[in-house]
Amino acid sequence: MTKLLALVIVGFMVIQLIKPIGWPGLKRRGDFWKLALLAMAAISLAAVLGHLT
């Protein structure tokens, strides 16, 4: 699950670098780092939830 999540978010980051997505907070190409923070948080949450179950 975490590998798929990582691939999806990396895909969003590449798209953001080529052409900004335009979502609130993601209007400029340089905002791809926000997606990296989101990826780290989401993968950490998935790992914690995986260990708890």
Cα 6 from Cα 35, distance rounded (Å): 11
Kindly indicate the confidence band of residue 1, based on its pLDDT and cuts at 50, 70 and 90: low
pLDDT of residue 19: 87
Domain ranges of the chain: 1-50
pLDDT at 4: 85
Q: What is the pTM of this model?
A: 0.69
Per-residue model confidence as pLDDT tens digits over 13-53: 888 888 888 888 888 888 888 888 888 898 888 889 888 87
pLDDT of residue 32: 80
Distance CA 4, CA 18 (A): 21
